[in-house]
Amino acid sequence: MPTLLNLNGFKFFFYANEHEPMHIHVSKGDEFAKIELVTLRVTRNTLKPKDLKQALDTTETHQQAFMEAWRGYFDNR
């Protein structure tokens, strides 16, 4: 499970056996979200609204780096 970023209690990661579309998982405590990287669409969520906003803001800020990490990991397998 490659971890992309740990920040303010959030963990941004993807699993080693992921599938398209490009997405990441975000966890904070026992809560989580799944966010598509190209569209920033949330496809699963149990985070509180303020935590989801922070997760989306952070994902948008690091969107290019997260996509590069995804491509780097899966294109080299």
pTM: 0.93
Number of domains forming the structure of the chain: 1
Question: What pLDDT score does 77 carry?
Answer: 63
Per-residue pLDDT of the chain (77 residues; tens, 9 = 90+): 899 999 999 999 999 998 889 999 999 999 999 999 999 999 999 999 999 999 999 999 999 999 999 999 988 76
The residues, any chain, with a CB within 8 Å of residue 55's CB and separated by 6 or more, are 10, 12, 26, 28, 33, 35, 47
Domain hosting residue 23, numbered range: 3-74
Question: What pLDDT score does 18 carry?
Answer: 86
Question: What pLDDT score does 63 carry?
Answer: 98
- Residues 66 and 4: beta-carbon distance below 8 Å: yes
